[in-house]
Amino acid sequence: MEYQTIYITLAGVFGLYMAWGIGANDVANAMATSVGSGAITVKTAILIAAVFEFAGAVLAGGEVTSTIRKGIVDTTSITDKPELLIYGMLASLLAAAIWLTVASRKGWPVSTTHSIVGAVVGFAAVGIGMDAVNWGKVGSIVMSWVVSPLTSGIMAFLIFQSVQVLILRADDPLQKAKRYVPIYIFMTAFFLTLLTIKKGLKHVTDIKIETTEAYLYAAIIGIVIAIIGAIFITKIKPNPEKEKENHFYTVEKVFAVLMVITASGLAFAHGSNDVANAVGPLAAVVSTATTGSIAGKSALPVWILLVGGIGIVIGLATYGRKVMATVGKKITHLTPSRGFAAELAASMTIVVASSTGMPISTTHTLVGAVLGVGLAKGLSAINLSVVRGIFASWVITIPAGAIISIMFFFMLKGIFG
């Protein structure tokens, strides 16, 4: 292929830009609950994301990649014109990244999955033909975007109700927090370990862990982390001065310990799920340009996952603050106990989706969870005008990705074709 090096270089640059956009928008709202509730600072959030997003992307980022790469577009009609797929995937990466830049600048938490799927569908419908788009698959992905916020919203509502019943409404909330929070820590660690074993290890080594073993390991690690958490929690002493202003001051400090764990887990789960939006199209370009033919599925080189992981971390560090402010502070008032309920619900939803290979949107999942927690306090606790703006940005995302992608597709075809 005559422009092979140029195609691979462009794919690397656009893939990095797309990963940067994911960091600026999606990771920002994955960390927003922790920052907005005051459990951690922005600097700590960036540090946690740097470690766990990167680990999730590089160790466990392979499962969802295949869903984004193939299945949405049928490439059989262009097997003799592989360069069309290259133009399309390059256009999709650039289009989705530009839309994410615009949304991040406005502080809109949009879906990176929406952005890239819209872009891929746009180029395929125009560049290959309407029949090439698997509309059934697109429909099932759209369904998952409705299902994920609903699921996480209901889970967050129930988790926060349990926190209220067991701890916040008790006569001695601090004693109850010290008793029950280790159970919440166990649940969090259990789910996250399960994700790591089931997805992460599959890509790193040839270790085959049976399902029963995986549950056993997850339970053991969950117990160990719960014990460590319990030791930290026993060291938290009541602060009578602060408790005059806020009756739950010390209890919320206990939940702040827990939020560091849920934030880490959410970052790992997010890295494993959403890195696909940047590395999927990048891998398609690299494999097509290298072999000169369109492969059904090709091995994912480690350097591609590294591009995704590095881009995500830089995006959050350089441009993530606006979206963090929207999700963490503007939808509803968050405290560490509410933020924890939202994060645990979101990470449970992402774990399930990630292990089944369904591309869900972390954004929708997390915003759904924050709404669920807000509703536990009643509808008046939610800023409806902010929510309306967020929903509107979600609706615009797919067509915006598609339109920009079509423009770039024709530009690239004109330059190289």
pLDDT in tens, 279-316: 888 988 988 888 888 776 656 788 888 899 899 989 99
Taking alpha carbons only, the member of 253, 218, 209, 207 closest to residue 232 is 253
pLDDT for residue 148 is more than 90: no
As a whole number of angstroms, the distance between CA 225 and CA 189 comes to 7
* Contact partners, residue 205, CB within 8 Å, separation at least 6: none
Asked if residues 54 and 114 have their Cβ atoms less than 8 Å apart, the reply is no
How many alpha carbons fall within 13 Å on the CB side of residue 33? 37
pLDDT in tens, 170-219: 888 888 988 998 999 898 888 778 766 766 555 555 567 787 888 899 99
pLDDT in tens, 80-120: 888 999 999 999 999 999 999 999 999 999 988 889 989 99
Asked if residues 181 and 255 have their Cβ atoms less than 8 Å apart, the reply is yes
As a whole number of angstroms, the distance between CA 2 and CA 383 comes to 55
- For the record, the structure tokens of 173 come out as 């909330």
pLDDT for residue 354 is more than 70: no
Measured over the CA atoms of residue 8, residue 12, residue 18 and residue 19, the dihedral's sign is positive
Q: What is the mean pLDDT of the chain?
A: 86
Q: Provide the Cα torsion 317, 321, 322, 328; round to 10°.
A: 130
pLDDT in tens, 324-346: 988 888 999 999 999 989 988 88
Supply the DSSP string of 135-183, one letter for each residue.
HHHHHHHHHHHHHHHHHHHHHHHHHHHHHIIIIITSSSHHHHHHHHHHH
pLDDT for residue 395 is more than 80: yes
Place of tokens 């299902």: 147
Predicted TM-score (pTM) above 0.75: yes
